[in-house]
Amino acid sequence: MLTHAVKTYLATRRATGFTLRCEGFQLRSFAAFAEARGQHYVFSDTAIAWAGLTRSVSQRARRLGTVIRFARYLRAEDESHEVPPAIYGVEKPPRPTPYILTPEQIRQLVEAASCSGYRTLRRATYSTLFSLLACTGLRLSEAIRLHFDDITPDGLVIRNTKFRKSRLVPLHETARSGLERYIQGRLPYAPFDDHVFVSSQGRPLLSADAEEAFRNIVKRIGLPRGLGRSRPTPHSLRHAFAVRALHACPDSRDAINKHMLALSTYLGHSKVAHTYWYLEAVPDLMRDIAVRAEHFATGGRP
């Protein structure tokens, strides 16, 4: 009974766009665990015992959270199912404060990338890649999966990315000209591959290689650690883009709401709350919020 319920639950959620690869494996494991004990309903004690089979508390919390959502789904139609308490704590720890690169640091990164390694395609690849991430806010995985036909007159088409979404990212004319220069220079290395970014060996660029190149450049130019001892990563270029966009937001409440929604859509976030997270990253933004809140509390208009 539970095995069949798992199939139905997964089919329902996948129909709405969730992949649930890991969750599907976990729920099938839980169903087998419960049915081996002759149980055909979700019971709290059984779910807690199954989740507790792993050593890590964070893993236990994630496993139990998966069963909790499954139990809520089943209990909506049959109250014989129990919804276990989240005794192992929250599934996900608080998101760390992002590392925000300044415009000057971004310039140093790009310049260092243009001088790194041998005088080969590597220099142009990483300087162009990091520049593109900084001026568009793309995820690293989205940038390295770009193909030639994703570059359109209207901008970059980001296809079937995170959360199975596709979106159009406008390109400034300077970014477009930079991409065109890079493509002309990389054609001799991989004339039959339509990936935009390729390695010096003519193969599609790998995320691991780009991350390693970024770490080496950060070390070379001596960027300091951020709040909470965070280290800059290629994703920091995306964070910096988002914060610059928030700084440019108009002051009126309606304009801010529309701006946040537009930015969330532009970045490909699944929830606007993920965009609001950037507000806590920069003291200037938090100070602006505090000033407006004080103005409102003292009788002024927000």
Other Cβ atoms less than 10 A from the Cβ of 226: the count is 18
Look up residue 39 and give its two tokens.
């149980």
Burial (CB count within 10 angstroms: exposed 0-12, middle 13-18, buried 19+), residue 193: middle
Out of 62, 81, 139, 195, pick the active-site residue.
Answer: 139
Q: Say if residues 81 and 69 touch (Cβ distance below 8 Å).
A: no
What are the two backbone dihedrals, phi and then psi, of residue 42, each rounded to the nearest 5 degrees?
-80, 120
Give yes or no: 13 in active site. no
Determine the Cα–Cα distance for residues 300 and 295; give it in Å rounded to an integer.
Answer: 5
Torsion angle, alpha carbons of 221, 224, 229, 231, to 10: -30
Amino acid at 90: V
Determine the Cα–Cα distance for residues 149 and 147; give it in Å rounded to an integer.
Answer: 6
Out of 235, 259, 274, 292, pick the active-site residue.
Answer: 235
Look up residue 14 and give its two tokens.
């996948």
Out of 88, 126, 182, 278, pick the active-site residue.
Answer: 278
Out of 60, 81, 238, 239, pick the active-site residue.
Answer: 238
Q: Say if residues 275 and 263 touch (Cβ distance below 8 Å).
A: yes
Give yes or no: 172 in active site. no
Give yes or no: 73 in active site. no
Give yes or no: 278 in active site. yes
β-partners of residue 167 are 158
Other Cβ atoms less than 10 A from the Cβ of 83: the count is 17
| Residue whose C-alpha is closest to residue 196's, from 129, 130, 253 | 129
Out of 4, 147, 162, 295, pick the active-site residue.
Answer: 162
Give yes or no: 238 in active site. yes
Give yes or no: 28 in active site. no
Catalytic residues, by residue number, are 139, 162, 235, 238, 269, 278
